[in-house]
Amino acid sequence: MGEFGLIRHLTEDIKTQQASTHKGVGDDCAVISANNSETLVTTDLLLEGIHFDLTYVPLKHLGYKAASVNISDIYAMNGTPTQMVVSLGISKRFSVEDMEQLYDGIKLACRNHGVDIVGGDTTSSLTGLTISITCIGMADKEDIVYRSGAKDTDLVCVSGDLGAAYMGLQLLEREKAVFNQQGNKDKEVQAQPDFQGKEYLLERQLKPEARGDIIKKLKEAGVKPTAMIDVSDGLSSELLHICHESHCGCSVYEERIPIDYQTGIQAEQFGISAVTCALNGGEDYELLFTVSLKDYEKISQIEGVHIIGRIQKEELGALLVTRDGAEYPLQAQGWQHL
Amino acid sequence: MGEFGLIRHLTEDIKTQQASTHKGVGDDCAVISANNSETLVTTDLLLEGIHFDLTYVPLKHLGYKAASVNISDIYAMNGTPTQMVVSLGISKRFSVEDMEQLYDGIKLACRNHGVDIVGGDTTSSLTGLTISITCIGMADKEDIVYRSGAKDTDLVCVSGDLGAAYMGLQLLEREKAVFNQQGNKDKEVQAQPDFQGKEYLLERQLKPEARGDIIKKLKEAGVKPTAMIDVSDGLSSELLHICHESHCGCSVYEERIPIDYQTGIQAEQFGISAVTCALNGGEDYELLFTVSLKDYEKISQIEGVHIIGRIQKEELGALLVTRDGAEYPLQAQGWQHL
Burial of A286-304, coded b for 16+ CB within 10 Å and e otherwise, reads: bbbbbbbeebeebbeebee
- Lowest-pLDDT range of A260-264, B72-76, B175-179: B175-179
pLDDT digit string (tens) for B289-322?
999 999 999 999 999 999 999 999 999 999 999 9
Among all residues of chain B, which has the CA nearest to that of A85? B43
Going by the DSSP 8-state scheme, the letter that residue B154 receives in this structure is: P
Asked whether residue A30 carries a pLDDT value surpassing 90, the answer given is: no
Among all residues of chain B, which has the CA nearest to that of A4? B122
Spell out which residues of chain B touch residue A98, defining contact as CB-CB under 8 Å.
none
Of A10, A138, A337, the CB nearest to B103: A10
Among all residues of chain B, which has the CA nearest to that of A27? B119
CA angle A295, A299, A305 (to 5 degrees): 150
Contact B32 A121 (CB under 8 A): no
Name the minimum distance, in Å, from the CA of A67 to any CA of chain B.
15
pLDDT (average), residues B208-222: 97
Spell out which residues of chain B touch residue A95, defining contact as CB-CB under 8 Å.
338
Contact A335 B123 (CB under 8 A): yes
pTM of model > 0.80: yes
Task: State the SS3 of chain A.
Answer: CEHHHHHHHHHCCCCCCCCCEEECCCCCCEEEEECCEEEEEEEEEEEECCCECCCCCCHHHHHHHHHHHHHHHHHCCCCEEEEEEEEEEECCCCCHHHHHHHHHHHHHHHHHCCCEEEEEEEEECCCCCEEEEEEEEEEEHHHCCCCCCCCCCCEEEEECCCCHHHHHHHHHHHHHHHHHHHCCCCHHHCCCCCCCCCHHHHHHHHCCCCCHHHHHHHHHHCCCCCEEEECCCCHHHHHHHHHHHHCCEEEEEHHHCCCCHHHHHHHHHHCCCHHHHHHHCCCCCCEEEEECHHHHHHHHCCCCEEEEEEEECHHHCEEEECCCCCEEECCCCCCECC
pLDDT at B336: 45
- Lowest-pLDDT range of A40-49, A132-141, B24-33: B24-33
Among all residues of chain B, which has the CA nearest to that of A87? B45
Of B30, B92, B107, the CB nearest to A83: B30
CA distances from B161 to A248, A338, B173, B201, B305 (A): 57, 42, 21, 11, 9
For testing the chain A interface, which of B45, B86, B96 should be mutated: the one with the most A CBs within 10 Å? B45
pLDDT at A336: 44
The alpha-carbon radius of gyration of chain B (Å, integer) is 20
Spell out which residues of chain A touch residue B283, defining contact as CB-CB under 8 Å.
none
Contact A134 B21 (CB under 8 A): no
Spell out which residues of chain B touch residue A83, defining contact as CB-CB under 8 Å.
18, 20-21, 24, 30, 32, 41
pLDDT at A268: 95
Q: Tell me the residue type at A233.
A: D
Contact A89 B25 (CB under 8 A): no
Of A41, A88, A128, the CB nearest to B119: A41
pLDDT (average), residues A65-82: 94
pLDDT (average), residues B129-134: 94
Supply the mean pLDDT for chain A: 88
Contact B45 A126 (CB under 8 A): no
Spell out which residues of chain B touch residue A282, defining contact as CB-CB under 8 Å.
none
Contact B121 A90 (CB under 8 A): no
Of B37, B96, B107, the CB nearest to A9: B96
ipTM of the shown complex: 0.86
Asked whether residue B95 carries a pLDDT value surpassing 90, the answer given is: no
pLDDT digit string (tens) for A154-183?
999 999 999 999 999 999 999 888 878 776
Name the minimum distance, in Å, from the CA of B80 to any CA of chain A.
11
pLDDT at B2: 62
Of B14, B100, B116, the CB nearest to A24: B116
pLDDT (average), residues B158-181: 92
Chains A & B: contacts with CB separation below 8 Å? 242
H or E element that contains B94: none
pLDDT at A170: 94
Contact B30 A85 (CB under 8 A): yes
Spell out which residues of chain A touch residue B124, defining contact as CB-CB under 8 Å.
50, 335, 337
Going by the DSSP 8-state scheme, the letter that residue B127 receives in this structure is: S
Among all residues of chain B, which has the CA nearest to that of A103? B10
Among all residues of chain B, which has the CA nearest to that of A32? B83
pLDDT at A338: 35
pLDDT digit string (tens) for A87-119?
999 888 888 889 889 989 999 999 999 888 888
Contact B115 A17 (CB under 8 A): yes
Among all residues of chain A, which has the CA nearest to that of B334? A123
Of A25, A96, A115, the CB nearest to B6: A96
Which domains, ranges and CATH numbers included, belong to chain A? 19-143 (3.30.1330.10), 155-168+202-329 (3.90.650.10)
Spell out which residues of chain B touch residue A128, defining contact as CB-CB under 8 Å.
126-127
CA distance A160 to A214: 9
Contact B1 A122 (CB under 8 A): no
- A10 vs A259, residue with greater confidence: A259
Among all residues of chain B, which has the CA nearest to that of A127? B127
Out of A15-19, A40-44, A81-85, B150-154, the most confident range is: B150-154
Q: Are A66 and B87 spatial neighbours (Cβ–Cβ below 8 Å)?
A: no
- B256 vs A12, residue with greater confidence: B256
pLDDT band at residue B194 under the 50/70/90 scheme:
confident
- Lowest-pLDDT range of A143-147, B259-263, B294-298, B311-315: A143-147
pLDDT at B238: 94
- Lowest-pLDDT range of A113-127, B238-252, B295-309: A113-127
CA distance A224 to A246: 16
Contact B39 A44 (CB under 8 A): no
Asked whether residue B168 carries a pLDDT value surpassing 60, the answer given is: yes
| pLDDT-above-70 percentage for chain A | 86
The sign of the CA dihedral A62, A64, A67, A72 is: negative
Asked whether residue A236 carries a pLDDT value surpassing 90, the answer given is: yes
Asked whether residue A49 carries a pLDDT value surpassing 80, the answer given is: yes
Among all residues of chain B, which has the CA nearest to that of A119? B25
Contact A118 B30 (CB under 8 A): yes
